[in-house]
Amino acid sequence: MSNFNPSADISTYIQTIFEDAMFIARENAVMPALVTQFSDTTDEKKPRQRSDWSSATITAIGETDDLQSQAFTPTAGSTLTPAEAGGQFFLPDTRVSADPFGVRNAAALELGMSMATSINENLLDDIASLTGGTVGSAGTTITWGHFFATLSQLENATKKQGPYVCVMHTYTWFALGKSVAPAQTVTNAPAFQDEVMRRWYVGTVGPVDIFTTTDLDVDGSDDANGGMWQRSALAFDGRRAPRLEPERDASRRGWELNMTSVYAHGVWRPTFGIKMVFDAATPTS
């Protein structure tokens, strides 16, 4: 009987081919670019406070009437309070020497991406604190009518001090993108239809730049908060840029990789933003 010498005979000698380990899927952080930005690298602790001037009142006066001085003083508004955030990986010498993936560089990259995601999510959470109004409600599918109603309210709140930004969950945007078809009557401009359908590109409608994200939280009822605002409605105050510091720990025979940053975030002029609450269920057709 012939012996065919199959590979199973040497299975214990066959080595595994290791491809690069993959990072968790993340979006690029876009929110800091969509809000008012401050930076003061000389002091990492001082809060930053906004103030509002009182307004003047103009009244009719007679020919010999004497004008009366009015109060013109600032009142305290929103405050941004810096805080430190950070994360760490500890890499023992034996792990670094044996790891097939280049763990030192991969760990540094992961810390940086995680910090960027955290900043992005912090600012997205601030959308819920906008006080200019609310359009939509839980379980409601967004329409272009809702979009333009939000824009109208925002222009009234800001006295048309645009341009504006709109951020919504990508599942919320799906309903608007799907509605842009030749049979629709709200947004049936051919150029607009072509842009959306050809590239699934979220661009500019009137004075509004539209952005979508998957970093917005979707609640148990498949609803998500989005918003439309003038950039001064929200703020990011970077006091110390994300910093990676390696530190040798001789007693543990390894290296600490420490990623830290100091920043503040929050509403700055909250009446200059409108909250949008709409359905964000997973689209299927």
State the CB neighbour count (10 A cutoff) for residue 266.
Answer: 20
pLDDT digit string, tens, across residues 9-60: 656 765 555 545 455 455 667 898 899 999 877 788 899 999 888 889 999 9
Q: What is the pLDDT of residue 41?
A: 72
Q: What is the pLDDT of residue 165?
A: 94
pLDDT digit string, tens, across residues 177-229: 888 755 545 455 566 555 544 433 467 888 999 989 899 999 999 999 999 99
Token duo for residue 127: 């959308």
Q: What is the pLDDT of residue 198?
A: 43
More confident residue, 185 or 270: 270
Q: What is the pLDDT of residue 196?
A: 47
pTM assigned to the model: 0.80
What are the extents of the domains in the chain?
A: 31-40+76-279
Closest CA to 36 of 246, 234, 264, 182: 234
DSSP string, 212-268: EES-S-B-TTSEEEEEEE-GGGEEEEEEEEEEEEEEEEGGGTEEEEEEEEEEEEEES
Q: What is the pLDDT of residue 15?
A: 57
- Round to whole Å and give the CA distance between 50 and 128: 20
State the CB neighbour count (10 A cutoff) for residue 38.
Answer: 15
